[in-house]
Chains A and B, each alone.
Chain A
């Protein structure tokens, strides 16, 4: 393989990986924007989405088969299920905590994460389960690079979801309400916005995105595991911060940037796969040193 081919392939790898990071980062950033909470449990919602998708696929296998239609249905079902789970978690665990010190909510989120992880661990016996949709290996050749249909579908779905989200935020009433609450919560309440409703919707949408990403990851990579949310949560958190936490386009950008950093980092001699995470974190730190609010973050006056 020539260098251009390799780099082109790594570009594709990075974009695919980045799409997952972006989808999960979006949920993180949305929730943060509205509730100012770093939801540690968000990555585990991705994991629950993957398991739900697996269950959904076996459920619809009879009627819709396990190919594209079946997978598509599973994604939809997982989105709805995980969306609701997110709202339930918010109602039970976070809503009562909103007046508590910030760190306490953080630890609560951590506890929720542990409950989800260990709950699924117990149910799945710690096993890595195979997710086997029939999606085939066919694809197209784009220049020197082979892109299979799964990757196209993945990137396409991610793009559709992100565009839908952007539309939701900027054009709909709920979207406007969300933006208002994220800027000034008390003011929004005074203006008549049902803040609790808005928060619930935010959690639903953010969690649904994570659930979609989880199911897609399960179908794409072929396996689901109780621990898979931990790493993605960390990466998505990093991505959201790179892009500027609280900024939706920032999360998308951050996700893609992180995915590309990891893929190209693996390729760079001297860094390789051994040091790629160090590489990514170092870039993150450098970005934040020179732009403390992330790539697209708004420069805020308050320093907390």
Chain B
């Protein structure tokens, strides 16, 4: 979705004086940023021991959302395509693994390439019709596809219909049975790091720049020789890859998947994570993912009020920081 001419882009908003500003001022050199990253990673590594099994599960969930939010960020943040049906790729990954392992007895690791390929095909199918569409129409088409995937999963026998697929076997890796919660935590941590690194490389690549031009002005980009169609499809395909890998590991983590996990609400949660943190900016997206997962959990003690409190909190954040929690002009 292109930014309207005249509206501030992520790089040109005036810096808001805030606590963040102070924090970023401290982290002004690459060395200092590097140290901060190392510290955060170290904290993530010892988190399960430090905080216990419940925190481990929640953090695993946050890492999953990080991966998916980064994938959606490629589609929405980099290429500017408003995708309201991102859960479709998540579902494709999860169900591919579920079906191949339970129905056909495949080894989990063998199913991953299949899940990714199927998701890439889905990316082309979903992306194809949207190429000529305005952003709002694009939104509804992607939403439509999301719903189509979910309803198909609900209706078809091979996907287990409404009860979904259960009894998915958890994988072995060189003698390490990835079965405990804490095992999956580390797996997702590694995946999240890979996702972040990939996103950084993408942003700084030729493709990343092409997305930037297309996002700002499609016709000018075309005039410069950028193939709009290929660039947009690339965004969908890459987003699909992130989504399907997240879905694949989600399936073996939960060992049971059902259509409920792939609803439009799920898609909006991913979108919330991307926008909340500050769309297009990787640290912001990670932050957004954590907020979306940790928010309702931390508020668990409030009982039935917690979603209301979360919603009000969300609203207040958006009102006072419309470009997302992460300050504009931060690290990309």
Contact = CB atoms under 8 A, between A and B. Distances in A.
Complex contact flag A–B (Cβ < 8 Å): yes
Interface of A: 32, 36, 38, 92-93, 96-97, 99-108, 110-112, 114-115, 117-119, 121-122, 126, 234, 237-238, 241, 245, 274-275, 277-278, 281-282, 284-285, 288-289, 292-294, 300, 303-304
Interface string B111-148: 00000000000000000010011111101110111011
Lowest 8 A-B CB distances belong to which pairs? A100-B322, A114-B311, A281-B144, A118-B308, A111-B315, A108-B318, A111-B314, A104-B322
A36 B276 CA distance: 20
Per DSSP, are chain A's interface residues mostly helix, strand or loop, or mixed? helix
Contacts of A96: 319, 322
Contacts of A97: 318-319, 322
A186 to B, nearest CB: 9
Contact of B323 (A100, A106, A281): A100
A101 B319 contact: no
Interface residues of B, number: 51
Nearest to A108: B318
Contact of B311 (A36, A118, A284, A294): A118
A63 B129 CA distance: 56
Contacts of A114: 307, 310-311, 314-315
Contacts of A111: 311, 314-315, 318
B172 interface: no
Given A99-B8, A101-B3, A32 B308 contact: no
Nearest to B318: A108
A38 B136 contact: yes
Contacts of B212: none
B151 to A, nearest CB: 5
B168 interface: no
Contact of B305 (A115, A122, A245, A285): A122
Given A102-B7, A122-B304, A303-B218, A32 B136 contact: yes
A238 B140 contact: yes
B155 interface: yes
Contacts of A303: 132, 134, 218-219
19 contacts: A36-B4, A97-B319, A101-B279, A101-B322, A102-B3, A103-B82, A103-B275, A104-B322, A107-B314, A108-B315, A114-B311, A274-B155, A277-B151, A278-B152, A288-B140, A292-B132, A292-B133, A303-B132, A303-B218
